[in-house]
Structure 1
C-alpha cells in the first residue's frame, strides 16, 4: 500500500489479493531486475545495524496493511532460509497516529518479550481474518491475554522506554529509506524493492535475492 492509500477503510480490506503475475526462475535468468522498475537505489545510504560483513534486510510493514498480510507467509518462508551472512529484521511503520502507533508498539513489545514466533502471524490473522482492529491498549491487552500472555507484563513493555526508543529509531529509518508504502524491503541501506513494484511476493523476493548479491559485491 502506498502512503496515500492508508485510509480509515484499510483495516476492512481483508480479502484483497495480489496481482497474479509470477516472475519465474527462467524469466529471472533471462532479464535481470531493472533499477527504477523493479527496485530503487537510494541517493544517500540509510543506516544499518548489521555487523560488518553482513547484509541487512529490513521489512517495513504495517499490521493493518492487507498487502503485508498476504506477503507475510512468503516472506517468512524466505527469511527462514537466508544464508548466514544476511541479517533480517522487521520494522513497523507509522504514517499517522491511529492506528499505526498502537500497532508499532504492539510489534516492538512482543519482539522484546520474545513472542514474535508465537504472536506475529496471529496479529495479522486477528486483524484481517477476525476483523479485530487492535488499535488501542485495551483491545491489544484482551488479545494478548487470550493468547496466554500476562497482560500486566505486556502493557509494562508496551509503554516502556525501550519500546518508545525503538519507535523513534523506526521513524528515523523510514525517513532514511524515503519510505512511501508497505510492504517494502530495504537492502543493505542502499536499495528498496516492494510488491507494488513487482506485482507478486515471488518476484519481489527474487529481486531481493538479486540485491543481496549486488550488495555483497559492493555494487
Structure 2
C-alpha cells in the first residue's frame, strides 16, 4: 500500500493479490530476483542497529494497512526460522500524524513492555476483523486493558520520552530507505524490497532471502 492508497483504506480487500493460501515462500518461483524490478539497491547506505557480523532485516509496516495485515502470517512464519546471523525487527511508519502516529506509538509501547508475542497479531485482528479504530490514546488504552495489561502502565510508556525518541528514529530510517509504501523490507542498510515489487508475499520473502545472501557476501 503506497501513500496515495492510505486515504482509500475502506476499499474492499478482495483482489489485492494478498489472500492466504499462497505457496510457502520456499516454493516461490525459482528465479533470481532482478535489481530495479524485484528490489532496489540504495545509492546511500541506511543506518543499521545490528552488531557487526549480523545482517539486519527491517519490516516497515502500518497496523491500518490491509496489505500488512495479510502479509503478517507469512512474515511471522519466515522470521521464526531465520538463521542466527540475521537480526529481524519491525518499524511502524507514520506518513502523517493520525492514525499513523497513534499506531506507531502503540507498537513501540507494546514492544517496550515485552508484549509483541501476545499483542502484535491481536492489534491487526482488532483493526481489520473487529473494525476497531484504535486511533486515540484512550481507545488504545481501553483495548490494551481488555487484553489484561495494566492501562496506566501502558499509557505511561505510550506517552514517554523514550517513545518520542523511537518515533524520531523510525522517521529517519524511513527516510533513509525512501519508504513510500508498506509493507516494505530493508536489508542490511543496502537494499529495499516489497510485496508490490514482487507480486506476492512469498516472492517478496524469497527476494529478501536472496538479499540476505548478497549482504553476507558484501560483508
TM-score (norm 1): 0.94
Q: Say if 2:63 and 2:124, in contact at 8 Å, map to a contact too.
A: yes
SS in 2 for 1:27: coil
What is the CA RMSD across the aligned residues, in angstroms?
Answer: 1.7
Q: Say if 2:45 and 2:189, in contact at 8 Å, map to a contact too.
A: yes
Q: Say if 1:16 and 1:66, in contact at 8 Å, map to a contact too.
A: no
Unaligned runs of 5+ in 1: none
Task: Give the deviation of 1:15 after TM superposition.
Answer: 3.6
Moved over 4 A (4+): 20-24
Aligned to 1:19: 17
Aligned to 2:70: 70
Structure 1 CA distance for aligned equivalents of residues 111 and 15 of structure 2: 28
TM-score (norm 2): 0.94
Aligned to 1:149: 149
CA deviation profile, 1:27-56 (whole Å, cap 9, x unmatched): 32xx30000100011010000000000000
CA deviation profile, 1:132-177 (whole Å, cap 9, x unmatched): 0100001101110110011000000000011111000000000000
Aligned to 2:205: 205
Structure 2 CA distance for aligned equivalents of residues 180 and 15 of structure 1: 20
Unaligned runs of 5+ in 2: none
Structure 2 CA distance for aligned equivalents of residues 117 and 70 of structure 1: 17
Distance of aligned partners of 1:24 and 1:118 in 2 relative to their CA distance in 1, 3 Å threshold: closer
Task: Give the deviation of 1:14 after TM superposition.
Answer: 6.8
Alignment of 1:17-96 (within 5 A): 18-19=16-17, 25=27, 27-28=29-30, 31-96=31-96
Task: Give the deviation of 1:6 after TM superposition.
Answer: 1.2
Distance of aligned partners of 1:164 and 1:136 in 2 relative to their CA distance in 1, 3 Å threshold: same
Aligned to 2:98: 98
Q: How many residues align?
A: 215
Task: Give the deviation of 1:4 after TM superposition.
Answer: 1.4
